A and B are shown apart, each in its own frame.
Chain A
Amino acid sequence: MIRAFFYLRGTTLQNQLLSRVRRLRQPKYLFGAIAGAAYFWFIFFRQTGFKGPPGRGLPPMAEGSDLFPLVFIFGAFVTYALYRVIAAWAAPAAPGLPFTEAEAAFLFPAPLSRRTLIHYKLLSSQLPILFQAALLTLISTRWTFLGGNAGIHALGWWVIFSTLNLHTTGAALTVTRLIAQGVGKLQRQVVVFGLLLLLAAAVAVILWRTAPPLTANDTAHPAALFRYLAGLTRAGPLYWLLLPGRVVVAPFLAQGWREFFLVLGPALLVLAAHYVWVLRSETPFEEGSIAQAEKRGAAVAALKAGTYRLGGGKARPGPFQLASHGGRPEIAFLWKNLLSTQSFFTLRTFAASAGVIVVVCTWLSHGSDAQRSTLSILGVCGVMMAGYALVLGPQLARQDFRGDLGHMDLFKTYPLPGWQVVLGELLAPVAILTGIVWLALLTATLSLGAFRAPVVWLTVEFRTTAALCLAVVLPLLCTLQLMVPNAATLLFPSWTQATRTRDRGLDVMGQRLIFAAGQFFVIALAVLPAAVAGVLLWFAARLLGGEVGSAVMATLGIVLVLGLEIAVGLLCLGWRFEKFDLSSESVK
């Protein structure tokens, strides 16, 4: 079996590399590869010349300004690890082990014992684990405040991910066995979430009673914060409560090789105990594995076909009642495309969210200094959220031509002019992104009430006007942002095809980067005339009236220019849609 395994993995890797090298003959992959390689080099290997000595890559993350990204990275990793563990234990159906459809088809009827299949799976998971460890080592070598070196970090990551993988494997087998014994989903989830809540409550109580206060010195730089956090977990009941996790993480945190080898023993013991647990949990997992493999296979096929639904492909009522007679056809596209996404993207959800934001922000703005600080943090989050939604949103909300590429021929049979189809297809992602940026804008606007010392020009009147003006402009910006990838779909469908698959590689990453850069460039060009018109009208109105009137005039100018651009864009894209012939494009 071992030979067959290495044959499969080795040949797969070799053919994968060969096919990726071969596809570089196509310019779209070649340029993608160049862009991807440049990005990778820039992120991990560039010699900055600005910080630290040249030739040593990126500078260490040791400044106070590095604190936020570090906390974000650590938070993301802890969330990821917790999610994997919880998902494994609270799985709704028998999880089995994650085999692909091909593996299930070839290996399950083959003369292999169940234990051999488990070993196959454990061996298979080593390749992604080694890749993850290598990638994270590139990142964590900048965390010099932890001590250690690249070798220690790489091995430490390997221990962490291998233990996590064995734990989730053992959990999957145990859950499969429990389900076979008649233990229901609700019983398991109550136990899992109950234990989790208990653990969280215990940690919170211990911290509240024993933790020293977090001072400004503790948050001055990453090393100080790390010392503070490490101190918390080294004393009192937390030491024992978090012991298993500490043992597994200890090799990664070792300061030098001597310490590494000292703490490696206990970590390997935990790893070995997990391995024994996995082998002893051997249970018929094939049904669960096949069900999961089929589910994943269907999702991948749907993704490739552009028919993947975030909602999980279940039938559900429409987001709103579509009038049975009359009504604009664009609204039918909006209705259809909203049905293809998550069920919570409804007017009711957005209205309820807005209500919650208003209540929370109002309560915080009338509270203590601590509450006002929280409100200002919320405001910063709101601004960041709006930025992310505007910049990254169009890549995520794809309920438009990008998802409907396979339905183009059908759309062309509709008795509608091209621009109307284009507009209809754009409406759903525009509505979703507008809802999100409006909520973010509402949060940011209300958070301005946190300023105790009033800024002279930041009056309530001005804040409200500015927010309303932005609220008018933002949907147009969302529309422009979404028109770019949709235009790309109509003009270069084969490129778009490549960027919406789950295909991986440096060249595909590069293609996405090129797309993002292209989008940024086009939007900058489109926004420039509107910005110029807005500024000119602002100054002209300032000569006649106050701040509020100027803001309104500027907004009118911006809306006029952006609206004109969108109208021209719709007509052009509509014309392109009418001429569109998917069969003549090299979509493979």
Chain B
Amino acid sequence: MIEVTGLTKRYGAFTAVQDLSFTVRPGEVLGLVGPNGAGKTSTLRCLAGIIPPNAGTVRIGGLDLASDPVAAKRQLAFLPDEPKLFDYLTVRQHLAFVARIYGVANHEPLAQTLLEELEIADKADQLPGELSRGMKQKLVIACGLLHGPSVIFFDEPLTGLDPLGIRRMKDSIRQRALGGAAIVLSSHLLHLLEEVCSHVLILKKGEKIAGGTLAEVSARFAQGESHVSLEEIFIRATGGTEG
């Protein structure tokens, strides 16, 4: 469960996120959309405890991220769009390192399952320099999921994946949600959000434009039309301009 109240993030005089409030319950997948510079990445980084917000509270599984960051972070995973890996740790060693940090006991079978699920088991003893971008992305996902997080933040999760990888990733997100995880997913790929998200939150210039279930947001911007795509809703909601 993710509870966000009055989240505000400023960089000097520039306000990236303004008074944002929303809740993601277990089993829900929230799609975070907005034009470039809308504040999506800043929001995700604040939610994951990577950077501190200037105001507001973030509760992960009922724990306040500001006052009890270690316990709150134990429940979450943040999967960035750009895979940043240690140059001299193999795929398997990355997982071993993460297991130590998160205190995952007997991680080997879990790691093996994840590697097979993500189809990088045959690359287990290779260094990042020998992997394609897609493989690196899969490794980041495997590292994020190793400790069985109940809250997952995905920042552009499909970047660099091949068509089969995309299909697997979408299935994986749905399965994690069905398993009770609360998921926030930021992406410009609106068809992805339509396929996997139960809820959507539209941001513009750091502020919430619209939020709710896909049906609720559609109803608000459909203007009486039926079967309006999320792309059309997005354009109508944001006025078709930059963040």
Contact = CB atoms under 8 A, between A and B. Distances in A.
A287 B89 CA distance: 25
Contact of A286 (B50, B84, B86, B102): B50
A1 B97 CA distance: 10
Contacts of B88: 11-13, 15-16, 19
A284 B50 contact: no
B51 A287 contact: yes
Contact of B50 (A12, A290, A297): A290
B52 interface: yes
B51 A290 contact: yes
A53 B117 CA distance: 67
Given A8-B86, A11-B89, A112 B51 contact: no
A215 B102 CA distance: 66
B90 interface: yes
A112 B100 CA distance: 12
Interface in A59-118: 100-114
Contacts of A112: 70, 73, 101
A152 B220 CA distance: 76
B89 A12 contact: yes
A9 to B, nearest CB: 10
B35 to A, nearest CB: 22
A429 B143 CA distance: 46
B49 A108 contact: yes
Nearest to B74: A111
A108 B50 contact: yes
B85 A102 contact: yes
Contacts of B89: 8, 11-12, 15
Given A109-B76, A111-B73, A284 B93 contact: no
Interface string B51-83: 110000000000000000111111011101000
Which 6 A-B pairs rank lowest in CB-CB distance, beginning with the nearest?
A4-B100, A105-B84, A109-B78, A111-B73, A111-B74, A101-B84
A325 interface: no
Contacts of B48: 108-109
B108 to A, nearest CB: 14
Given A7-B100, A109-B78, A102 B50 contact: no
A102 B97 CA distance: 12
A109 B50 contact: yes
Contact of A111 (B86, B102, B143): B102
Contact of A7 (B72, B84, B97): B97
Contacts of B96: 7, 11
A3 B84 contact: no
B51 A106 contact: no
A106 B97 CA distance: 10
Interface in A101-156: 101-114
Contacts of B86: 8, 12, 100, 102-103, 106
B98 interface: yes
Contacts of B73: 109-112
B127 interface: yes
A103 B73 CA distance: 16
Contacts of B77: 109
Interface centre among A101, A107, A113 (most CB of B within 10 A): A101
9 contacts: A15-B89, A16-B88, A19-B88, A105-B140, A106-B101, A110-B102, A111-B73, A112-B101, A290-B51
A106 B143 contact: yes
A287 B76 CA distance: 19
A562 B50 CA distance: 60
Contact of A113 (B11, B51, B70): B70
A105 B84 CA distance: 6
A104 B84 contact: yes
Contacts of A101: 84
A284 B52 contact: yes
A4 B93 contact: no
Do most interface residues of chain B lie in helix, strand or loop, or is the interface mixed? Answer: mixed
B90 A15 contact: yes
Nearest to A2: B100
Contacts of B76: 109
Contacts of B51: 284, 286-287, 290
A102 B88 CA distance: 11
Contact of A107 (B71, B101, B127, B140): B101
Contacts of A113: 69-70
Nearest to A179: B12
Given A7-B100, A104-B50, 11 more contacts: A11-B89, A13-B88, A100-B84, A102-B84, A110-B73, A111-B71, A111-B74, A113-B70, A286-B51, A287-B11, A287-B51
A290 B41 CA distance: 13
Contacts of B143: 106
Nearest to A6: B100
Contact of B49 (A16, A104, A109): A109
B101 A105 contact: no
Contacts of B97: 4, 7-8, 11, 106
A286 B93 CA distance: 25
Contacts of A287: 11, 51-52
Interface in B36-54: 48-52
Nearest to B77: A109
A515 B185 CA distance: 51
A397 B69 CA distance: 48
A11 B87 CA distance: 11
B70 A15 contact: no
Contacts of B69: 111, 113-114
Contacts of A109: 48-50, 73, 76-78
A7 B93 CA distance: 9
B178 to A, nearest CB: 24
A114 B49 CA distance: 11
Contacts of B93: 11, 15
Nearest to B72: A111
A132 B108 CA distance: 37
Interface in A9-29: 11-13, 15-16, 19
A19 B70 CA distance: 35
Nearest to A103: B86
Given A11-B89, A109-B49, A111-B71, A1 B101 contact: yes
Contact of B127 (A15, A100, A284, A297): A15
A107 B86 CA distance: 12
Contacts of A286: 50-52
Contacts of A1: 101
Contacts of A4: 97, 100-101
A294 B74 CA distance: 25
A15 to B, nearest CB: 4
A22 to B, nearest CB: 11
Interface string A273-302: 000000000001011001000000100000
Contacts of A8: 86, 89, 97
Given A16-B88, A106-B143, A111 B70 contact: yes
A460 B73 CA distance: 78
Nearest to A93: B12
A105 B71 CA distance: 18
A266 to B, nearest CB: 37
